[in-house]
Structure 1
Amino acid sequence: MNDYLRIYLNDQLALGTAWRELARRSTKANQGSDVGTALGKVATAIAEDVATFRAIMRSLGVPENPVKSGAAVLGERLGRLKLNGKLRSYSMLSRFEELEFLTMGIDGKKQLWGTLRDLAGLAERLPDVDFDHLIARAQQQRDELEPFRVRAGQAALAGA
């Protein structure tokens, strides 16, 4: 196993873990709304993608680096402490930034699946993994959140 691939996979697992935690938190913060429903679907899909990614790592014999994943969860939790325009409550900026970060993560995940398929040559090594499906699934997640990201951005940044 290429050491760079092993490191890359653990870095990407850490990022996926952070996005999963952000999606879960954002779902709770928006519970009972249309955006909360969309976030719930995406949070479930992200958790499934992280599980798929772990299975890929196991298939390749790549051990998880618990320090990296733990640091990612800690980083996501520390990110909650940033100022959002409100002292103790959730703000329009919070919603927008969470949706913005999640869509960036989903775009990165689409790129990740393509990288593993094409650049790392895993399509041949792991014929049971449908990378095209994973890419399409990420696009569906992105499409699910995009209208809410746009509305949240308009509300937060344009004062709508």
Structure 2
Amino acid sequence: MIDQARLGTYLQDHYAGSSAGIELFRRAADQQTDAVVRTALTAMAEKVEHERTVLAKYLAFVDAKPDPVKNAGAWVAEKLGRFKPNGELVRRSPLSDVLELEMLRIAVEGKGAGWRVLRALADEEPLFDVAELDALIADSEQQIKDLEDLRMDTARRVFRRPA
């Protein structure tokens, strides 16, 4: 039998993380210097928004709701993450393109870990949709691959000396 209270807390953490992730995806997309990366991140942001609604559904399954305090904390943490030394004083550093892609990849890896936990519990919980969770896991694995490709292409561009 699943401990619904404990799982609810876990899902609240992932919900808050997805809220921060959406903010980071949107900001990174808006500020990317490469149009291909900007388009890819915009599409991923839309997927993460959909996934947050799926998380809300699973929260409801365990009689929990998004925690406004955790959501606010995640929102603040994402905003504070913007203030980092990046070698530039008055404009966006190209390093930010690389670092944001790294942060997004890490976030998506965490998201995928959450889907895998729910998938493991799906054998005990008939409300958990196995096919949906398998698709979410596959999506997160593809997003990790896509983010890694974008990150490495961006790093090659950013760390090359001008000719």
- Give the TM interval when normalised to the shorter protein: 0.7 to 0.9
Contact 2:119 2:130 in 1 (8 A): no
Q: Which residue of 1 is the match for residue 77 of structure 2?
A: 75
Contact 1:123 1:131 in 2 (8 A): no
Alignment length (residue pairs): 160
Using the alignment, how far apart are the partners of 1:156 and 1:32 within structure 2?
11
Shift in CA distance, 77/134, structure 1 to aligned 2, threshold 3 Å: same
Shift in CA distance, 121/33, structure 1 to aligned 2, threshold 3 Å: same
1:91 offset after TM fit, Å?
A: 1.5
Q: Which residue of 2 is the match for residue 145 of structure 1?
A: 147
Where in structure 1 are there 5+ consecutive unaligned residues? none
Q: Which residue of 2 is the match for residue 16 of structure 1?
A: 18
Deviations 1:83-117 (A, max 9, x none): 11111322121011110010111111111101111
Where in structure 2 are there 5+ consecutive unaligned residues? none
1:159 offset after TM fit, Å?
A: 5.2
Using the alignment, how far apart are the partners of 2:88 and 2:68 within structure 1?
34
Deviations 1:1-36 (A, max 9, x none): 533212211111111111111000001102771110
Shift in CA distance, 64/122, structure 1 to aligned 2, threshold 3 Å: farther
Range moving further from structure 2, 117-126 or 87-96 = 117-126
Q: Which residue of 2 is the match for residue 85 of structure 1?
A: 87
Identity %: 31
Q: Which residue of 2 is the match for residue 30 of structure 1?
A: 32
1:158 offset after TM fit, Å?
A: 6.4
Where in structure 2 are the equivalents of 1:1-160 lying within 5 Å? 1-30=3-32, 33-119=35-121, 124-127=126-129, 130-156=132-158
Range moving further from structure 2, 25-34 or 121-130 = 121-130
Corresponding letter in the other structure for 2:97: R
Using the alignment, how far apart are the partners of 1:142 and 1:98 within structure 2?
13
CA RMSD of aligned residues (A): 2.2
1:145 offset after TM fit, Å?
A: 2.1
Using the alignment, how far apart are the partners of 1:25 and 1:137 within structure 2?
21
Shift in CA distance, 123/144, structure 1 to aligned 2, threshold 3 Å: farther
Question: Normalised by the size of structure 1, how large is the TM-score?
Answer: 0.88
Deviations 1:118-149 (A, max 9, x none): 04756533237611001011122223222210
SS at match of 1:125: coil
